[in-house]
């Protein structure tokens, strides 16, 4: 049964929540009195559909249904999760909770996107304070995994734990905040940096662009993959964190920063910051900046994924769960061999596209290579078999590019086994986007002993599996293009 998420407030953050739930297979109901809410959320969804699926090698679940409602009662009825993302006004949030708790389930999770208020403040006047907690995300919610989960003494910890488990199924990282505190954890760091940036601009030390460059060309990159403390541990050299603390600890007493003081927000300061920001980024629309941001985030998180590190390690775990959910872990005995074998189903990542905006040549080879690897696993040439000393090496490849495919589009690869006798394995892959054929890839592989590095006969269980597939596929029409040479029909 499809689960329902109710989004109360459809701004930038609410729209990001809607996208994260929707693209992970949940039905989403939105309540927002703003007549522009549907347009705004649809624009967020357009960016999310382009970027989120491409983080993964596995396919996301079938997208849920989204609906927009004029009454809170309709939005929250039957919802498993209710996410409040209305403006940062405490009395408004408290009124919202009173209203929605009249109609929602007692078991529903009620999370607030607040960046500053404590859950005990939000719970004041609520019918059931135990089901309300802070679930503070980071923009864009559909890409960044961190969620600060903050309960109060009145919160039901069973509901909190259920919330954290559901967040993990969405590919997110719930960070339980140990004690209630204004602005939680992450925003307190951001506030410190923001305060110092305001002084640097006001005192004429740096412009908005120079401050951003100091972050994005320097410590921001380190923070993205190691955080603050681990970065400083490395800075301590072989002696580690204790040496770093001893060396740089005295500097904390020096008057370097003005963190306990804030410059007055005069019209002059606001104009200075706004004018510098316009000069820095005004050539791009907000939608363009969002797409640039998403492109960069996807590339960075996928790079971390390749290293199994930081946010990339989290993504890798979710990728594996998605593959299991998509039933891509099938074996030779569970397959319908009267049809081609589906060996790849995934979205095209942003970093797979070229200057023409479509998937580049190298990525076609990667997709077909992934299909070959998957087929090898199916017939028994898996990681354990390769570890034992045998594998298939690709001897020849031929790719035909039939049509274009763009970032965010879902592709699948269907594989025919043309030959599987002796030391040879001849595969023919066809790539589709929907019913549209995109490309074909033909591979001739030779079984090799990893010890001698010479051609060898595969193990008997692989021989038997290949014979079974070849016999079944021989009864199907021969795919168009098999054996075709470059430029020849």
Q: Are 389 and 340 in contact (CB under 8 A)?
A: no
Helical segments of 236-285, H only: 240-248, 267-281
Out of 58-62, 231-235, 275-279, 394-398, least confident range: 231-235
Alpha-carbon dihedral 128, 130, 131, 134, rounded to 10 degrees: 120
- The more confident residue out of 234 and 24 is 24
Nearest alpha-carbon partner for 144 in 313, 321, 308, 301 = 301
Nearest alpha-carbon partner for 25 in 164, 182, 170 = 170
Q: How confident is the model at residue 259 (pLDDT cuts 50, 70, 90)?
A: confident
3-state secondary structure of 137: coil
- Long-range (24+ apart) CB contacts under 8 A made by 133-138 are 133/109, 133/159, 133/160, 133/163, 134/177, 134/184, 135/83, 135/111, 135/163, 135/167, 135/174, 136/112, 136/184, 136/186, 136/187, 137/13, 137/16, 137/17, 137/113, 137/172, 138/186
Asked if the model's pLDDT at residue 458 lies above 90, the reply is: yes
pTM for this predicted structure:
0.85
Nearest alpha-carbon partner for 290 in 87, 85, 135, 143 = 143
Q: Is the dihedral of CA 172, 173, 174, 175 positive or negative?
A: negative
Mean pLDDT of the chain: 91
Residue 82's H or E segment, with its range, is strand 81-84
Q: Residue 327 has what pLDDT?
A: 61
Q: What's the rounded mean pLDDT across residues 287-300? A: 89
CA–CA distance, 313 with 226 (Å, rounded to integer): 12
Q: Residue 331 has what pLDDT?
A: 67
CA–CA distance, 349 with 299 (Å, rounded to integer): 9
pLDDT in tens, 372-403: 999 999 999 998 999 999 999 999 999 999 99
Asked if the model's pLDDT at residue 297 lies above 80, the reply is: yes
Strands 27-31, 4-8: pairing kind: parallel
Asked if the model's pLDDT at residue 430 lies above 60, the reply is: yes
Name the percent of the chain lying above pLDDT 90: 71
Helix, strand and coil in the chain, % to nearest 5: 45, 20, 35
pLDDT in tens, 319-359: 988 887 776 556 677 778 888 999 999 999 888 988 888 89
- The 10 Å CB-count burial string (b at 16+, else e) for 56-81 is bbbbbeebbebebbeebeebbbebbb
Which residue(s) pair with 175 in the sheet? 148
Q: Is the dihedral of CA 216, 221, 224, 228 positive or negative?
A: negative
Q: Are 339 and 410 in contact (CB under 8 A)?
A: no
- The more confident residue out of 230 and 96 is 96
Out of 127-141, 191-205, 262-276, 440-454, least confident range: 262-276
Which residues contact residue 347 at a Cβ distance below 8 angstroms, ignoring those fewer than 6 apart? 53, 54, 56, 59, 60, 408, 409, 410, 411
pLDDT in tens, 110-129: 999 999 999 999 999 999 99
pLDDT in tens, 47-84: 999 999 989 988 899 999 999 999 999 999 999 999 99
* All domains of the chain in start order, with CATH: 4-176 (3.40.50.720), 186-283 (1.10.1040.10), 330-473 (3.10.129.10)
């Amino acid at each position: 049964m499809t689960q329902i998420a109710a989004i109360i407030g459809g701004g930038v953050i609410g729209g990001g929540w809607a996208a994260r739930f929707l693209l992970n297979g949940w039905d989403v109901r939105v309540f927002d009195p703003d007549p522009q809410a549907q347009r705004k959320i649809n624009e967020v969804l357009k960016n999310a559909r382009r970027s989120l699926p491409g983080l993964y090698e596995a396919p996301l679940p079938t997208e849920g249904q989204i609906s927009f409602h004029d009454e809170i009662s309709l939005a929250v009825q039957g919802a498993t999760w209710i996410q409040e993302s209305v403006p940062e006004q405490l009395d408004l949030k408290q009124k919202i909770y009173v209203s929605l708790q009249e109609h929602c389930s007692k078991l529903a999770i009620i999370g607030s996107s607040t960046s500053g208020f404590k859950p005990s403040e939000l719970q004041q006047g609520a019918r059931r304070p135990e089901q309300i907690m802070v679930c503070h995300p980071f923009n864009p919610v559909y890409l960044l995994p961190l969620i600060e989960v903050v309960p109060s003494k009145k919160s039901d910890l069973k509901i909190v734990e259920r919330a954290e488990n559901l967040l993990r199924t969405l590919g997110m990282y719930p960070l339980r905040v140990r004690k209630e505190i204004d602005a939680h954890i992450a925003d307190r760091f951001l506030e410190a940096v923001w305060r110092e940036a305001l002084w640097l601009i006001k005192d004429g030390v740096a412009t908005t662009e120079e401050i951003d460059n100091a972050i994005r060309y320097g410590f921001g990159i380190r923070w993205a993959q190691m955080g603050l403390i681990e970065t400083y541990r490395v800075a301590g050299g072989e002696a580690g964190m204790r040496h770093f603390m001893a060396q740089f600890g005295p500097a904390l007493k020096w008057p370097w920063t003005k963190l306990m003081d804030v410059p007055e927000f005069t019209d002059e300061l606001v104009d200075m910051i706004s004018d510098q920001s316009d000069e820095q980024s005004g050539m791009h629309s907000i939608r363009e900046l969002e797409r640039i941001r998403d492109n960069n985030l996807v590339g960075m998180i996928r790079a971390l994924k390749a290293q199994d590190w930081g946010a990339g390690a989290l993504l890798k775990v979710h990728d594996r769960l998605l593959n299991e959910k998509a039933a891509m872990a099938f074996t030779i005995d569970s397959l319908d061999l009267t049809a081609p074998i589906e060996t790849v189903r995934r979205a095209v990542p942003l970093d797979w596209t070229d200057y023409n905006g479509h998937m580049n040549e190298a990525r076609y080879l990667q997709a077909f290579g992934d299909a070959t690897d998957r087929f090898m696993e199916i017939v028994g040439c898996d990681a354990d078999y390769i570890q034992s000393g045998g594998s298939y090496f690709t001897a020849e490849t031929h790719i035909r590019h039939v049509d274009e495919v763009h970032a965010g589009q879902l592709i699948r690869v269907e594989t025919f086994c043309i030959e599987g006798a002796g030391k040879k394995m001849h595969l023919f892959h066809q790539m589709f986007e929907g019913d549209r054929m995109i490309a074909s890839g033909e591979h001739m592989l030779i079984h090799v002993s990893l010890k001698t590095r010479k051609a060898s006969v595969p193990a008997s269980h692989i021989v038997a599996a290949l014979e079974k597939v070849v016999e079944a596929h021989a009864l199907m029409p021969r795919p168009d293009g098999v054996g075709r040479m470059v430029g020849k029909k």
